[in-house]
Amino acid sequence: MPKNKLVSIVISAYNEQDNVGELYKQLKENLKATKDVDFEFVYVDDGSSDKTYEKCLSLQKKDERIKIVQLKRNFGHEIAMTAGMDYAKGDAVIFMDADLQHPPVYIPQMIEMWQQGNEIVLTKRLDNKATSGLYKFCAKTFYFILNKLSDTKIMESAPDFRLLDRKYVDFLKGFNEQDRLFRGLLSWVLPKDRVAMIDFVAPERFSGESKYNFAKSLQLALNSILQFSVKPMRLATYLGLLSALAALLLGAFVFVEHFFLHNPTPGYATIMVTVVFLGAVQLICLGIIGEYIGKIHIEVKKRPLYMADYVERKEKSRDKKDI
């Protein structure tokens, strides 16, 4: 009898003590009917300060398919997904959040699409009624600017709920940048075919609060631009050229006023405006360059991405199971 394929489900959890158990329950319920595949559940505890890790351990006592990657401190969602991907052994890997905003009910469909030959199954989050008009407008404007500035197209409303075939998992493992954005990396490797898409409406969190506040979201937005493009630096050059042109025009205007119209503008005001304007332009340009130098500073050190313990229960080897 041919060996079943293994599907790994990687779940990133940071302070999700009241969600991990419910998620496991719903996963078990929804995956019962899925044939011809075995599962492993890789819970990544991203340095939680609550009882997330203990909850995962007690789930593992009941189900040896549960593996736990315990990060030694909070490394952030992107690194948590990377750690999960590094430890996942599956022929396909599904990534999902722990808060039930990525409903397990879609997983059988993802697997079916993979079994039909798709190597990547993405999801698209549809707006639910609660999404405000202002939020939609801001999101649309952000993605417009992002995709204008970035060399890699980054999809809108593409949550980190997706399936990747082992081929792409190994491919992504080759990217070792510290500062990483899965969505961007994925757009970089995205093939033209064998990609399927599932639309879904994300429910509210089951329990707890979102870890993303406005400042974190803004940082993520800026990072998405900086990581995939050097266009802002070019923008700095254009800004410099533009202000040089403005200074030239102002000079010509003052010259004409002084020598031909005999009506000189009082010096103080124009000098102050010019100095402040040019000062601001220079600071902006320095800031942009500084952002990139900061990134280089972090990347050149090539520090390990994370520190982790891997906890699994001694299970019967999968080969033995098939004898």
Residue 80 binds which entry of ligand UDP, Mg ion, none, with Cβ cut-offs from 5 to 8 Å by kind?
ligand UDP
- Which residues of the shown chain bind ligand UDP in the complex (CB under 6 A)? 12-14, 16, 46, 74, 76-77, 80, 97-99, 101, 210-212
CB of 141 to ligand UDP, least distance (A): 19
Interface segment toward Mg ion; rule CB under 5 A; list 54-62, 93-101, 181-189, 306-314: 93-101
CB of 14 or CB of 143, closer to ligand UDP = 14
Q: Please give the size of the binding site for Mg ion, defined by CB under 5 A.
A: 2
CB of 200 to ligand UDP, least distance (A): 13
CB of 12 or CB of 70, closer to Mg ion = 12
CB of 113 or CB of 154, closer to ligand UDP = 154
User: Applying CB under 5 A, does 12 fall inside the site for Mg ion?
Assistant: no
Residue 12 binds which entry of ligand UDP, Mg ion, none, with Cβ cut-offs from 5 to 8 Å by kind?
ligand UDP
What is the secondary structure of 117-154 as a DSSP string? T-SEEEEEEEPPTTS-HHHHHHHHHHHHHHHHH-SS--
DSSP H or E run through 42: strand 37-45
CB of 184 to ligand UDP, least distance (A): 16
User: Applying CB under 5 A, does 101 fall inside the site for Mg ion?
Assistant: yes
DSSP H or E run through 164: strand 162-165
Rg of the chain in Å (alpha carbons) = 26
CB of 106 to ligand UDP, least distance (A): 16
Interacting residue with Mg ion among 46, 78, 99, 119 (CB under 5 A): 99
Residue 119 binds which entry of Mg ion, ligand UDP, none, with Cβ cut-offs from 5 to 8 Å by kind?
none
Which long-range contacts does 124-130 make (Cβ < 8 Å, 24+ apart)?
124/155, 124/157, 124/158, 124/197, 124/198, 124/199, 124/200, 125/157, 125/158, 125/159, 125/200, 125/201, 125/202, 126/157, 126/199, 126/200, 126/201, 127/157, 127/201, 128/201, 128/202, 128/203
CA distance 200 to 61: 33
Which residues contact Mg ion by CB under 5 A? 99, 101
